Amino acid sequence: MRVGPSTTHRPVPGIPLVGRQAEIAQVTDVVEGRGEQRPFLLLGEAGTGKSSLLATAVGHARDSGTLVLTARGIEAESRQSFASLHLLLLPVLPDITALPDHLRTALETAFGLAPAEGPADPLTLRMAVLTLLTGVCNRQRVLLAVDDVQHFDRDSLDVLSFVMRRITAQGVPLLLAARGQTIPEGAPADVGTLLLEPLSEQAAAELVDAQPHAPTGRTRSDLLRQAEGNPLAIVELCRAAGMSGAGVLPGGGLPQTERIQQLYAARLRGLPELTQRLLLYAGASAYEDLAMIMAAAGAGADLGAWAPAEEVGLVSVADGRVVFRHPLARAGSYHGAPAHLRQQAHRDLAAIPTADPAGRAWHLAAACLGQDESVAAALEDTAELAERRGGLFATAQALERSAQCSPAAADQARRYAKALRAAQWAGDPSWVRELYDKVTALTEDRNLLGVAACGAGMSLSLLGHQRQAFRVLMSALEPVPPGDGATCSTWPPCSSPLRFSQGCPRSEDRSQPCSTECRTVTLTRPIRI
């Protein structure tokens, strides 16, 4: 886990909040604690002004002396357990020394600040974060501001969802922003929401006129028609018109988000080759570390190659970091490059010495075509590290990708089964069902099928499909039960087992396999979902 911050919250430069007075009033009410106390989520397509509106709320809070804890989800970090949570809590991490030992250890282990001494307890970590934030909030007013929630790693979002239900009840305002028109998967469903619609015709015209070298005449009319009220599209089209006289948003017929991304990608083509290479490596990297990006790209120490990208507004380079102007600029810089160059970028980034084995493993996976056992093994090692830190979603993601990279069908089945157990314990029944289908298609191993059936059976039961759950569980017992009785246990192994009815020898003697005469199952503990 990195020590320094990654992408902090920044509004997109040059996009004033024109036509958003009502929305500004709503987020200001949240910051000042007026109205219903619950998390508040800003929704909208890329470029509608969510980040700028969030920045307005952050500025208002700071002006009143409020401590702001902020983080922004990054797609490249979305597979790294607790990366987003670490960024959010970074300013208050020194306060963990005041926590009880077991809570402090849980936090330090999750963030990689201390070695894992045993299986992680998810509830202990949640209570550690809640206790830490509660202590800070008791001393001063705090605002939690989270941008690009859709790119949060699911382990962080899982903890944050637990905490936000409790922290807002204590009067702590929490503002979130996410791309799209629906609440992101993993976020609480009971948040207040505000969907940012396109600007009105009058507000869009005002925003055009506020830009440097605003276009006039037919160009202005065409620009307003193409932008469809999207503030980012208006700003970028005005910039393109001022630089080259062009006023066309590429990709006619595509969704607005993809068209804006293509606009950024088109701007790359006029840059020097080395600058394009640096932007590709920055887009592929999970971090913003300037030295690491330049070393991987073989660019030496001369920062002059970044100047053309800064001049056209794609990135800013300062304090040893490379920060993209907008997430779509990062996406355009990466996806605008040919596939073979993207593959080489991941190989080069994986070759840079780093203390982050997870980042290296995922770069190797991104560069992997087909199957490669060395890549699969690196991902499995990453999964074990994530498991020790309590990152259940990261564990399942790494194991699933590890299985995809495995040349041997037996290794694929084994790793898919391990991924299924992690996904089941993480509380994702739909994912468990997908993994169950993959395990059963790959193997006849009764022990692996038993593991898969236990996880899938519980998940189906939690989804309300009781008969199907029973059939799946019985499929692991007939015609031949698993030879290893431990396959009937939930995951992790130290937790309470799925125990069969009284007629099963497992209820009396844990060393014996389950009996085919069993026809009912009960749970000795509730399963978190």
**3-class secondary structure per residue, 90-103:** HHHHHHHHHCCHHH
| 105 pLDDT more than 70 | yes
Predicted local distance difference test score (pLDDT) of residue 262: 75
For residue 348, the surrounding DSSP H or E stretch is helix 339-351
Cβ contact 478:449 at 8 Å: no
The answer on 170 and 48 residing in a single domain is: yes
| 494 pLDDT more than 50 | no
Q: Which amino acid is at 285?
A: S
Predicted local distance difference test score (pLDDT) of residue 343: 95
Predicted local distance difference test score (pLDDT) of residue 380: 96
The answer on 278 and 188 residing in a single domain is: no
Boundary (domain end) residue, out of 139, 174, 195: 195
- Residues 459-464, mean pLDDT to the nearest whole number: 80
Boundary (domain end) residue, out of 195, 214, 240: 195
Residue 115's pLDDT band, with cuts at 50, 70 and 90, is confident
**pLDDT per position as a tens digit, 297-330:** 999 888 999 999 998 888 999 888 998 888 888 8
* Cα–Cα dist 135/156, whole Å: 20
- Residues 161-187, mean pLDDT to the nearest whole number: 89
The answer on 328 and 452 residing in a single domain is: no
**pLDDT per position as a tens digit, 1-59:** 443 333 433 444 445 588 899 999 999 999 988 877 788 999 998 889 999 999 999 99
The answer on 433 and 350 residing in a single domain is: no
Predicted local distance difference test score (pLDDT) of residue 520: 36
For residue 176, the surrounding DSSP H or E stretch is strand 174-179
Q: Write the CATH number for 191.
A: 3.40.50
The answer on 435 and 324 residing in a single domain is: no
| 523 pLDDT more than 50 | no
* Cα–Cα dist 480/502, whole Å: 20
- Residues 496-509, mean pLDDT to the nearest whole number: 35
Count CA atoms closer than 13 A to 320's CA, side-chain side.
6
The answer on 167 and 56 residing in a single domain is: yes
Contacts of 236 (CB under 8 A, 6+ apart): 260, 263, 264
Structure tokens at 133: 């934030």
Please give the residue that has the higher pLDDT: either 244 or 296: 296
Residue 486's pLDDT band, with cuts at 50, 70 and 90, is low
The answer on 189 and 54 residing in a single domain is: yes
Task: Tell me the percentage of the chain whose pLDDT exceeds 90.
Answer: 48
Task: Tell me the percentage of the chain whose pLDDT exceeds 70.
Answer: 85
| 157 pLDDT more than 90 | yes
**pLDDT per position as a tens digit, 321-334:** 998 888 888 888 88
Summary mean pLDDT of the chain = 82
Please give the residue that has the higher pLDDT: either 102 or 1: 102
The answer on 452 and 308 residing in a single domain is: no
The answer on 43 and 142 residing in a single domain is: yes
- Residues 159-169, mean pLDDT to the nearest whole number: 88
Range among 81-85, 398-402, 440-444 rated most confident: 398-402
* Domain contains 217: no
| 527 pLDDT more than 50 | no
Predicted local distance difference test score (pLDDT) of residue 16: 58
- Residues 59-83, mean pLDDT to the nearest whole number: 90
* Domain contains 133: yes
* Domain contains 240: no
DSSP 404-444: HH-SSHHHHHHHHHHHHHHHHHHT-HHHHHHHHHHHHHH--
The answer on 30 and 168 residing in a single domain is: yes
- Residues 83-111, mean pLDDT to the nearest whole number: 94
The answer on 281 and 186 residing in a single domain is: no
Residue 273's pLDDT band, with cuts at 50, 70 and 90, is very high
Please give the residue that has the higher pLDDT: either 527 or 38: 38
Predicted local distance difference test score (pLDDT) of residue 121: 86
* Domain contains 296: yes
Boundary (domain end) residue, out of 355, 373, 399: 355
The answer on 295 and 171 residing in a single domain is: no
* Cα–Cα dist 427/299, whole Å: 44
**pLDDT per position as a tens digit, 384-418:** 999 988 999 999 999 999 999 999 999 999 999 99
* Domain contains 211: no
Please give the residue that has the higher pLDDT: either 426 or 439: 439
* Domain contains 290: yes
* Domain contains 377: no
Contacts of 271 (CB under 8 A, 6+ apart): 279, 308, 309, 312
CB environment 401-413: b (16+ within 10 A), e (fewer):
bbbbbbeeeebbb
* Cα–Cα dist 415/407, whole Å: 12
Strand ranges, E, within 312-438 = 315-318, 321-324
Give how many domains the chain has, as a whole number: 3
* Domain contains 107: yes
Range of the domain at 454: 428-529
| 501 pLDDT more than 70 | no
Predicted local distance difference test score (pLDDT) of residue 355: 60
Assessment of whether the complete model's pTM goes beyond 0.85: no
